[in-house]
Structure 1
Amino acid sequence: MHRGLRIVAGLFLGFATAPVNLLVVVLARSRATAVARWERRRLEWFLGIDAAEPAPGRAVRYLAIRTAVGLFGGFVLVWLFYGLYWGLVIAYRLVAGDGTGLADDWAEFAWTGLIGVVLLYVEVQGIIGVVALEAKVAHRWLGPSEAELLRRRVEELSASRAGIVAAVDAERRRIERDLHDGVQQRLVALGVLLGRARRNPGAAADLLAQAHEESRHVLEDLREVAWRVYPAALDSLGLAEALEAVADRSPVPVRLRCAVADVPPQVATAVYFVVCEAVTNAAKHSGATMVDVEITADDGAVRVSVTDDGAGGADPAGGGLAGLSRRVLALDGGFAVSSPAGGPTVITAVVPRAGVAPDGAPAGGVPSGRAPAGEVPCA
């Protein structure tokens, strides 16, 4: 009942504003965008229609077409109120029995009532049709056209492709820098120690011990570089295990909750790097004392939320976050960063996927070894 009254009120307002729309189209086109925005709010508040913001140059055409729809809706409402009026009159005569004939002629009353019910049904269908027409006109003329949407999509794909190429190049440079500044330097030091051991047999034992320690560091650096390129745990153990390893290696306590399983490889990779980069940034730059990671399945997509209690001020255009954004957008997902001064920083990514876990799946996940007790294990 409440929904029906709102629809009737929305159509009545649309009928009242139809002449205003016509005046704006004819005499004040500069106000067309503002009036179209008001119509958009009317559609949302009363009719439950989610329309796009008026695109430049399209508001005038929308208002011109919407004028006819509003007048037609008013015509339908007039017949509705007219029918309700006569329904009340007939009901009053029946109850009052004022001698006009309806109270004594039940056959005529039943026939009149049947016609009234049919007309009421037609009126209800007419109102539903006007609402559908309002939605169709708004979607067709208020927002961008099909060609405009296609053009924007092509531009997004082109930008995404260029971003992926840039991200790959940046990743190659980072790997080269890590190898040069880390592994290569340690290998040079290892070679120096072994050379000294050959030239100084008396100190060979001590030098070989140092060389052995240096070789251990080389292996650790190689594992670190390989892990950052692509963690083998994603293939062998799955997303949850790989993320637990990220949490365990983090110098900041990480609370990890996961409610998805059997994630496609490309989605798992994107989710992993979002979490890894966000946790690394929180540990290095934010001064956070706790990082909260939550991974859930929502409407055919995997949703990732990483929140830290640090100082905030993260730059979404920075190299690491920009690379994550490109990685997620390449999968037709969404990426957002909220990091006001003083915190908290919230990084959100939504990556489309197939085979979402059932809605009844537990919402909890495994805490890492550093997370506080009481958390539910990650599936």
Structure 2
Amino acid sequence: MVSRAAHRLLRRGCRTTAGLALGGVLAFVEAAFVLLTLPALAFPPARARALACARKLAEVERARLARYLRSENSSDYGGRRALEYLAVRCVVGGLGAGIFLLILWGAVSGAVMVAQLASGEPIGGGTDQDWYDLVAVPLFGVLLLFLAVQGLLGVAALDRRVAHRFLGPSEQDLLRRRVSQLAASRAEVVEAVDEERRRIERDLHDGVQQRLVALGMVLGRALRGKDPEHARELVRQAHEESQRALAELREVTWRVYPIALDTDGLEVALESLAERSALPVTLDCTFSRRPGAALETVAYFVASEAVTNAIKHAGASRVAITVTGGDSMVRVRITDDGVGGARTSGGGLSGLARRVAAVDGRFTVDSPVGGPTTIEAELPCA
């Protein structure tokens, strides 16, 4: 285990050293490019070509950082920012090149000193060999090696930081992108709310309203009937129909918003969901603290819609709901043993994806054909 870890550390060190050496060579190319490009910026035709070349050279640097220094950077930057990056990067690369030259000089000097010690010649061209040379030379070599390693590590960290600062979107770009995301998220939330309203209207029209119409017809027949026994039977049917209408109305109200979320919290609301489900539902809720009301609402509807899909479309025989929460994240995971094949483009799941996106969460669906289906939502608390 130790030898394997040492081997990985050695490979990583060699890869980083090779990346820094390549960066040192590229620094001279970048410095020459920046010096030759600056006068061309005064002329619009040449400026566009120069900035395009700057971006290509910056892409070479981005690839070097990703391969050798394990530093991933965005490609969302323009030619001017690429030129600014190269102007700073050539200085950092020059520092790295200087350290490599010092290492080379130290290696050559150390080899000469070792050869002089081995042959008995005085170090530095003197007449006599001093006794402390045997101690001072190795210690001086170790000190130079330590300083060289620290210098390379510093250059690598500075190389990553400079790339992170210049490559990718600026603060203004990030702000504009965030505003666009919020505007799109708001539009998606409005669309999801409208879709939910249409579904509630369909449930009321096709379910509760039809039950009430049937109830009125049965009561009307009972009022017009002459036979008391027949009237009693009709009243009994009316009572059963009212119970069905009440159950469907209760189901619709739970779909709109379960009152248990406000009074008792997410765990109790999910327990009620599991009790009302036509399939066996196992529930596991673990919270270090209760999440906010908005997150509880999103988490509940993710679980509710997933259970409804498992009943209506998946042909599942059981469903498992797992909810874990901490100070930073609430995770909701629903798994069923159905036929699979669910897609986020479906009506119900697409609405859930918009709900989760509205709170900056992440929504994933893993549903291979043949099952099982796993729906997961990660909801940030902050």
TM-score (norm 2): 0.76
Question: What is the CA deviation profile of residues 68-117 of structure 1, one whole-angstrom value per residue up to 9, with x for unaligned ones?
Answer: 433432222222343355456556766x4724259953556666667666
Is contact 2:291-2:325 (8 Å) kept?
Answer: no
Alpha carbons of 1:179 and 1:301: their partners in 2 closer, same or farther (altered >3 Å)? Answer: same
Is 1:126 aligned with 2:126? no
Report the residue type matching 2:19 in the other structure: G
Is contact 1:252-1:291 (8 Å) kept?
Answer: yes
The aligned counterpart of 1:11 is 20
Match of 1:282 among 283, 289, 310: 310
**Aligned-residue RMSD, C-alpha:** 3.6
Is contact 1:293-1:305 (8 Å) kept?
Answer: yes
Alpha carbons of 1:255 and 1:67: their partners in 2 closer, same or farther (altered >3 Å)? Answer: farther
The aligned counterpart of 1:154 is 179
What is the correspondence of 1:285-324 to structure 2 with a 5 Å cutoff?
285-297=313-325, 300-324=328-352
Is contact 2:82-2:166 (8 Å) kept?
Answer: no
Is 1:264 aligned with 2:286? no
Task: Measure the CA separation in 1 of the matches of 2:220 and 2:108.
Answer: 107
SS in 1 for 2:287: coil
Report the residue type matching 2:260 in the other structure: A
Question: What is the CA deviation profile of residues 251-282 of structure 1, one whole-angstrom value per residue up to 9, with x for unaligned ones?
Answer: 44444433325222211111111121122223
Is contact 1:33-1:54 (8 Å) kept?
Answer: no
What is the correspondence of 1:16-35 to structure 2 with a 5 Å cutoff?
16-18=25-27
Task: Measure the CA separation in 2 of the matches of 1:337 and 1:231.
Answer: 25
What is the correspondence of 1:50-89 to structure 2 with a 5 Å cutoff?
50-55=72-77, 57=79, 60-61=82-83, 62=85, 65-87=88-110
Single out whichever of 308-317 and 186-195 deviates more from structure 2.
308-317
The aligned counterpart of 1:137 is 162
Residue 164 of structure 1: how far off its partner (Å): 1.6
More helix by share: 2
The aligned length equals: 353
The aligned counterpart of 1:49 is 71
Residue 20 of structure 1: how far off its partner (Å): 6.5
Is 1:352 aligned with 2:380? yes
Task: Measure the CA separation in 2 of the matches of 1:106 and 1:226.
Answer: 94
Is contact 2:306-2:375 (8 Å) kept?
Answer: yes
Structure 2, unaligned runs of 5 or more: 1-8, 38-48
SS in 1 for 2:321: strand
Alpha carbons of 1:341 and 1:66: their partners in 2 closer, same or farther (altered >3 Å)? Answer: farther
Is contact 1:295-1:303 (8 Å) kept?
Answer: yes
Match of 1:170 among 195, 203, 226: 195
Is contact 2:334-2:375 (8 Å) kept?
Answer: yes
Structure with more relative contact order (C-alpha pairs < 8 Å, separation 6 or more): 1
Residue 189 of structure 1: how far off its partner (Å): 2.0
Task: Measure the CA separation in 1 of the matches of 2:268 and 2:349.
Answer: 23
Residue 193 of structure 1: how far off its partner (Å): 2.3
Task: Measure the CA separation in 2 of the matches of 1:289 and 1:39.
Answer: 54
Is 1:219 aligned with 2:246? yes
Is 1:208 aligned with 2:235? yes
Report the residue type matching 2:18 in the other structure: A
SS in 1 for 2:364: strand
Identity %: 51
Alpha carbons of 1:15 and 1:220: their partners in 2 closer, same or farther (altered >3 Å)? Answer: same
Task: Measure the CA separation in 1 of the matches of 2:71 and 2:366.
Answer: 29
Task: Measure the CA separation in 2 of the matches of 1:249 and 1:93.
Answer: 90
Task: Measure the CA separation in 1 of the matches of 2:329 and 2:172.
Answer: 27
The aligned counterpart of 2:4 is none
Task: Measure the CA separation in 2 of the matches of 1:331 and 1:174.
Answer: 23
Residue 207 of structure 1: how far off its partner (Å): 1.5
SS in 2 for 1:50: coil
Report the residue type matching 1:334 in the other structure: R
Larger radius of gyration: 2
Match of 2:210 among 168, 171, 185: 185
Is contact 1:305-1:347 (8 Å) kept?
Answer: yes
Is contact 1:37-1:54 (8 Å) kept?
Answer: no
Is 1:334 aligned with 2:357? no
SS in 2 for 1:167: helix
Task: Measure the CA separation in 2 of the matches of 1:257 and 1:33.
Answer: 52
Is contact 1:36-1:59 (8 Å) kept?
Answer: no
Task: Measure the CA separation in 2 of the matches of 1:77 and 1:299.
Answer: 47
Is contact 2:361-2:378 (8 Å) kept?
Answer: yes
Structure 1, unaligned runs of 5 or more: 355-379
Report the residue type matching 2:286 in the other structure: A
Report the residue type matching 1:273 in the other structure: F
